[in-house]
Amino acid sequence: MMPNVVAKDSPGARHLLLGNEAVARGAIEHNVEIAAAYPGTPSSEIVETLAEVADDVGMHVQWSTNEKVAFEVAIGGAICGKRSLASMKHIGANWIMDPLMHAVYHGFDAGLILISADDPSGHSSANEQDNRYMALLAEIPAIEPSDFQEAKDYVGHALTVSEEIRLPVMLRLVTRICHSRGDCIFGEIHREKRQPKFSDDYYRDFVLGEGIVGPKVIPKMHRTQHEKLKRVEGVAARLGLFNSEKPERPIGDLGVIASSAPVGYVLDSLTGRGIRDKVGFLKLGLSNPFPEETVSDFISGFDKILVVEEGEPFIERHLDALVKRVNPALKIFGKLSSHLPREGELNFSLVDDALAVLLGLERRSPPAEKLRLTEAASALLTPRTLTMCAGCPHRAAYYAAKKATRNVANARYIAIGDIGCYTLGMYPPLRFMQDVFCMGSSIGIANGIAKAGIADPVIATIGDSTFYHAGIPALINATFNQANVKVMVLDNEVTAMTGYQPHPGCGQTATLKPTKNVMIENLCGACGIDFVRIVDPYDFNSSVKAMEDAIKFNGPAVVIFRRLCAQEYLRKARRQGIRISKYRVDPEKCIGCRTCVAAFGCPAIGFDREKKKSFVVTLDCAGCGVCTAVCPQGAFVLEEGS
């Protein structure tokens, strides 16, 4: 890793940057003074990178408790005249709709950027929503970089648009920009500590007696917003957010309109086929409000337009509406015409194929030997299924909870999971939860299940960071409405899944400053929960007992399974030179019952089919020792010298 290269004052230098690092560099160059986020793949490295250099560049950088708070923090920064940003994954942005829909009637002196990192194909997400529709709903500009240089430069453009138009601006990224690397040339760093000064159009336009809501005020503000939007395309054009290439005689009378990461696939295809200068090409760096003038100019002279975009057919639908007015004979191709798939991430082959079809060129097909190889390989390859790490405290907690339900509820229960590493508890062999939704929803949905009259214990499993993020209101609801839910808080003392970011229970901030630790057990008590038990999931018997007691308790109950994430612990141990005590299987005692591999499923335990004995993969063993409690024969023993 090259620490802090993003903060280096070396204009003109060329570096390989992660898209998210390029965005961070843009925020540094363009004097963003406040940056807030809740981690979420693929967005996390933006604020993670900024946190590393925050003190050097004079920026306030924070992990906020959730996306809504992060965006509100950014509003607070912008309202005081400081360029501010909030960054989040696409689904995380669902949380901010309320403050966003209100921020749009205000206007700030400083730029306000909402970074939405969309995840087409759901590489690390539960859906592939296209947040340009959020920009459409909120009526704010949406700017889309298509490569790594633009990922940096468009931060500056987004700030300029935001300040000139006086509206928040969405910088819409996609996984392939966030989590890919490319060369990026640094610009100059302009840092300036602006004096904080409260300023808000809303407050300025406020007329005493008209009220703050109601028909005298709201339509007027809405009209102001519409007037603002009319100016966006002009500013965007001046900033160079549109690139139009119109050849004299385009082959196939085809023009291509593209935005975001797929711009690269179009360029690769046209370049590879040697027709780069023979096909019309418009790159849109602004997709909302739809740049009608630019697009109208471009489409004139073509018979056919192919739209290539990541996510929903957003540009395509806008183009369709525009064409009905200006040139109904024009044919539009893209996702709605099925020339490109509507679901899943685009790639080179999909785009190259669509271009070949529309231009009447030959489509690429896999070489014959590769087809033979693919067939031969499929017989040999086995998948690598998702699993929790060796030593993961969540596995131990689930295993204990399962045993508790067997002991006191005839193994009957309904468990709803939540979002984090512990979601993997749904997979075999544990299969603990039956369903999962979104951040913080486990407790709320469990509330409803309990009220629906299910007689079996109703369990919600939620992680520490997720509990702070969104679990608390639902827990209060359980007390308020006396829902008999059993909440397992799987507290591994860090936001593990997104890369070990600190949360309010860690005692330190994004920039590693000590801060007060907000204890989950105190919150539970304050939420009116009468049964709160804290256990170490590595202590198997106490964990089982705690869950049994919670299930038997009449009323909402919380068991906090607290143990540091095994990966985080191993890293710490390595740094501090702590030796890990590892386990091995005593072959005399092992009877080959396979409980450890088939029911518990620690990836550091294997089973030798010939000898019919389990074994420990010593290198992978994290030394948690839970296997000693899992094995009915007591076959797991400490390695000699451990």
Partner 1 sequence: MGIKSLEIVISGVGGQGNVRGAQMLGAAAVKAGFMVRVSDVFGIAQRGGPVLSHVRIGEVYGTMVSAHSADVVVGLEPMEALRAVSAFLKPGGTVAMSTRPIYPVEVNTGKAAYPKMEAILEAIRVATSRIITLDATEVAQSAGIPMAANVVMLGVIAGTGILPFSADYLREAVREYIPRSIEENMVAFESGLKIGESYMNPRT
Q: Which residues bind partner 1 (CB under 8 A)?
A: 1-2, 14-16, 41, 123-124, 147, 176, 179-183, 261, 263-268, 271, 347-349, 352, 366-367, 369-370, 372-374, 376-378, 380-387, 389-390, 421, 424, 496-497, 567, 594, 597-598, 601, 603, 605-609, 617
In the complex, the smallest distance separating the C-beta of residue 497 from partner 1, rounded to whole angstroms, is: 7
* Residue 504 or 603 having the CB closest to partner 1: 603
Beta strands in 186-317 (DSSP E): 242-245, 254-258, 280-284, 286-288, 304-308
Q: Tell me the C-alpha distance between 137 and 454, whole Å.
A: 39
In three-state form (DSSP H/G/I as H, E/B as E, the rest C), the secondary structure along 407-420 is HHHCCCCEEEECCC
In the complex, the smallest distance separating the C-beta of residue 380 from partner 1, rounded to whole angstroms, is: 4
In the complex, the smallest distance separating the C-beta of residue 52 from partner 1, rounded to whole angstroms, is: 14
Cα separation values, 215 from 27, 180, 212, Å? 39, 48, 10
Contacts 24+ apart (CB under 8 A), 373-382: none
Q: Are 595 and 630 in contact (CB under 8 A)?
A: yes
Q: Tell me the C-alpha distance between 91 and 148, whole Å.
A: 23
Query: With 0-12 CB in 10 A as exposed, 13-18 as middle and 19+ as buried, what is 188?
Result: exposed
In the complex, the smallest distance separating the C-beta of residue 142 from partner 1, rounded to whole angstroms, is: 21
Identify the H or E element spanning 220. Answer: helix 218-230
First to last CA, the chain: 33
In the complex, the smallest distance separating the C-beta of residue 376 from partner 1, rounded to whole angstroms, is: 4
* Residue 104 or 570 having the CB closest to partner 1: 570
How far is C-alpha 210 from the geometric centre of its chain's CA atoms?
Answer: 41
* Residue 343 or 608 having the CB closest to partner 1: 608
In the complex, the smallest distance separating the C-beta of residue 141 from partner 1, rounded to whole angstroms, is: 25
Q: Are 173 and 43 in contact (CB under 8 A)?
A: yes
Nearest 5°: the CA angle 221, 139, 118 is: 150
- Helix, strand or coil for residue 327? coil
* Residue 332 or 389 having the CB closest to partner 1: 389
* Residue 263 or 305 having the CB closest to partner 1: 263
Q: Tell me the C-alpha distance between 498 and 293, whole Å.
A: 41
* Residue 135 or 389 having the CB closest to partner 1: 389
In the complex, the smallest distance separating the C-beta of residue 106 from partner 1, rounded to whole angstroms, is: 37
* Residue 13 or 519 having the CB closest to partner 1: 13
In the complex, the smallest distance separating the C-beta of residue 483 from partner 1, rounded to whole angstroms, is: 30
* Residue 462 or 604 having the CB closest to partner 1: 604
* Residue 124 or 511 having the CB closest to partner 1: 124
- Helix, strand or coil for residue 172? strand
In the complex, the smallest distance separating the C-beta of residue 1 from partner 1, rounded to whole angstroms, is: 6
Q: Tell me the C-alpha distance between 494 and 496, whole Å.
A: 5
CA dihedral in degrees (134, 138, 144, 149; nearest 10)?
-120
Question: What's the one-letter identity of residue 159?
Answer: L
